[in-house]
Amino acid sequence: MTRPYPWRCGTCGNKSVGPAVVPFTATLKHENTVHEVHLEAMPANKCDVCGEISVGEDADTMARDKLRETLGLLPAEVILQNRKLLEKKQDELAELLRVSEASISHWENGRIQSRSSDVLLRLYFAIPQVRHFLQERMANPKLGEQVNEDWSAWRAELALPPNYPINNSWTTMYTVTNDNQNPYGLAS
Ligand SMILES: [Zn+2]
């Protein structure tokens, strides 16, 4: 439980600190580039006498969320939700994507994924065939060494069953499904 306002100011000593909403700028580094993130309305505490401002613990999280949005990267909660929708544990997804289990955990808890990892995650979430490919690669490390010019060549390489959709079925294939029960992403 939070103490009732007003609080005593750590700077000027007056009992004059109350809740406020302030503009906030954070400096965040992502992939060796420094970004300034501006937030118009950050919850904070402000001293009415000396003007001292302190932002809450969630300021960093809000700044990272904003930077993700600016850079067009998947939000942390979307990564978490989609992984759970696909019934994959963190270590299972990490093994499929060839990243560390800690990376998955970090991405779901605020640390911002690289742009290339973001592409990998998007492909994995959006396209059942990508999930199938990565699953197959666990047993067949050579997958991806040859260029397949069309779907039939790809189907042959993976020895997919005859009912695997390869032509005009993209709309149905984009349906996110439980891969354990429906490994080929077929609409039911
Ligand atoms: Zn003060």
**Is residue 133 domain-shared with residue 149, that is, in the same domain?**
yes
The pTM of the full predicted model, rounded to 2 decimals, is: 0.76
Helix (H) or strand (E) holding 19: strand 15-30
Give the count of domains, the chain.
2
Which residue carries 């909660």 as its tokens?
A: 77
More confident: 167 or 20: 20
More confident: 55 or 110: 55
**Within a domain: residue 121?**
yes
pLDDT tens digits, one per residue of 89-125: 999 999 999 999 999 999 999 899 999 999 999 999 9
Asked if 166 and 187 count as a contact pair (C-beta separation under 8 A), the reply is: no
More confident: 111 or 163: 111
Buried b (16+ CB within 10 A) or exposed e, 134-167: beeeeeeeeeeeeeeeeeeebbebbebeeebbee
Residue 31 has pLDDT above 90, yes or no: yes
Structural domain range at position 45: 15-71
Expressed in angstroms and rounded, the spacing between residue 8 Cα and the centre of ligand 1 is 8
**Within a domain: residue 93?**
yes
State the Cα–Cα distance between residues 23 and 4, nearest whole angstrom: 24
**Is residue 54 domain-shared with residue 20, that is, in the same domain?**
yes
Mean pLDDT score, 47-58: 92
**Is residue 86 domain-shared with residue 161, that is, in the same domain?**
yes
Tell me the residues surrounding ligand 1 (ion) with CB < 5 Å. Answer: 9, 11-12, 47, 49-50, 52
Expressed in angstroms and rounded, the spacing between residue 30 Cα and the centre of ligand 1 is 35
**Is residue 40 domain-shared with residue 90, that is, in the same domain?**
no
State the Cα–Cα distance between residues 28 and 39, nearest whole angstrom: 13
**Within a domain: residue 185?**
no
